[in-house]
Chains A and B, each alone.
Chain A
Amino acid sequence: MNPLIALMIIVPIICALFLNLLHKKDRTIKAIAIVMAITLPLLPLLANYGLHYFGGYEPLYQNPALSKGLPSLITGTALNTFHPAITYSFQDAQKLFIFILGLVAFLAIIVSLFETRRPSGVYGFMMFMGVAAVSALILTDDIFNFYVFFEIAALATVGVVLVSQVKGNYETALKYMILGSIASPILLLGIALLLGVTGNVNITDIILSLKSGAVNPQNPVILMACGMIFFGWLYGSGLPPFHTIKSAIYSKALPHGAALLQAFSVFTFIALGIIILRIFSYLPLSQLVIIGVSLLAMIMGITMAILQTDLKRMIGFLAVGELGYIGLGLGLGTALGITAGLFQAVNEVVITAFLFIGFGTIYYQSGESDIRKLGGFMVKNPKVALLVLLSGFAMAGVPPLNAFQSKLMLIQASVQAGLPELGVIMILLSIVTFMTFMKAFHAVYMRPQPSDLEIKNDFIPKATILALSILLLVCLLLGLFPQMATNYLQGISTSLAGGVP
Chain B
Amino acid sequence: MNIYDLIVKRIKEAQKADSDGPVTNVSTSAMLTAEITLISSVLVALIMLRLVNNVLMMVAVLVVLFTAVLAMPIMPQLKREMNDSLYAMTFYMVLALVIVITLFYWGNFNV
A435 to B30 alpha-carbon distance, docked (Å): 9
A240 within 8 A of B: yes
Q: Are the CB atoms of B93 and A182 closer together than 8 Å?
A: yes
Q: Are the CB atoms of B93 and A303 closer together than 8 Å?
A: no
A179 within 8 A of B: yes
Q: Are the CB atoms of A303 and B89 closer together than 8 Å?
A: no
A223 to B103 alpha-carbon distance, docked (Å): 9
Of the candidates A227, A242, A285, A306, which one forms a contact with B101 in the assembled complex, judged by CB atoms under 8 Å apart?
A: A227
A183 to B92 alpha-carbon distance, docked (Å): 12
Q: Are the CB atoms of B89 and A245 closer together than 8 Å?
A: yes
Of the candidates B26, B48, B89, which one forms a contact with A179 in the assembled complex, judged by CB atoms under 8 Å apart?
A: B89
Q: Are the CB atoms of B41 and A428 closer together than 8 Å?
A: yes
Q: Are the CB atoms of B30 and A242 closer together than 8 Å?
A: no
Q: Is the interface of B mostly helix, strand, loop or mixed?
A: helix
Q: Which residues of A contact B45 (CB under 8 A)?
A: 295, 299, 421, 425
B84: shortest Cβ distance to chain A, in Å? 6
Q: Are the CB atoms of A224 and B90 closer together than 8 Å?
A: no
6 A–B contacts from the bound complex (CB under 8 Å): A227-B104, A240-B92, A284-B111, A285-B103, A299-B45, A425-B44
Of the candidates B79, B90, B104, which one forms a contact with A226 in the assembled complex, judged by CB atoms under 8 Å apart?
A: B104
Give the interface segment out of B1-9, B32-40, B64-72.
Answer: B32-40
A259 to B38 alpha-carbon distance, docked (Å): 27
Q: Among residues 12 to 62 in chain A, which have CB atoms less than 8 Å away from a CB atom of chain B?
A: none
B42 within 8 A of A: yes
A429 to B41 alpha-carbon distance, docked (Å): 8
Q: Are the CB atoms of A372 and B75 closer together than 8 Å?
A: no
A175 to B41 alpha-carbon distance, docked (Å): 31
Give the interface segment out of A111-119, A195-203, A228-236, A475-483.
Answer: A228-236
Q: Are the CB atoms of B101 and A231 closer together than 8 Å?
A: yes
Of the candidates B37, B41, B78, B104, which one forms a contact with A224 in the assembled complex, judged by CB atoms under 8 Å apart?
A: B104
Q: Among residues 1 to 59 in chain B, which have CB atoms less than 8 Å away from a CB atom of chain A?
A: 21, 26-27, 30-31, 33-34, 37-38, 40-42, 44-45, 47-48, 51
Q: Which residues of A contact B103 (CB under 8 A)?
A: 227, 285, 289
Of the candidates B33, B47, B92, B93, which one forms a contact with A306 in the assembled complex, judged by CB atoms under 8 Å apart?
A: B33
What number of A-B contacts does a CB cutoff of 8 Å give? Answer: 128
B62 within 8 A of A: no
Q: How many residues of A contact B (CB 8 A)?
A: 52
Q: Which residues of A contact B34 (CB under 8 A)?
A: 303-304, 306-307
Q: Which residues of B contact A418 (CB under 8 A)?
A: 51
Q: Are the CB atoms of A307 and B30 closer together than 8 Å?
A: yes
A482 to B29 alpha-carbon distance, docked (Å): 36
A183 to B32 alpha-carbon distance, docked (Å): 35
Q: Are the CB atoms of A223 and B105 closer together than 8 Å?
A: yes
Q: Are the CB atoms of A302 and B30 closer together than 8 Å?
A: no
A216 within 8 A of B: no
Of the candidates B26, B31, B82, B93, which one forms a contact with A300 in the assembled complex, judged by CB atoms under 8 Å apart?
A: B82
| Besides A223-B108, A227-B104, 5 other A-B contacts (C-beta < 8 A) | A182-B93, A218-B108, A220-B105, A284-B111, A304-B78
Q: Among residues 282 to 315 in chain A, which have CB atoms less than 8 Å away from a CB atom of chain B?
A: 283-285, 289, 295, 298-300, 302-304, 306-307, 309
Closest to A295 in B: B45
A231 to B101 alpha-carbon distance, docked (Å): 8
A439 within 8 A of B: yes
A77 to B5 alpha-carbon distance, docked (Å): 75
Q: Which residues of A contact B93 (CB under 8 A)?
A: 179, 182-183, 235, 241-242
A105 within 8 A of B: no
Of the candidates A224, A248, A435, which one forms a contact with B105 in the assembled complex, judged by CB atoms under 8 Å apart?
A: A224
Q: Which residues of B contact A235 (CB under 8 A)?
A: 93
Closest to A428 in B: B41
A132: shortest Cβ distance to chain B, in Å? 28
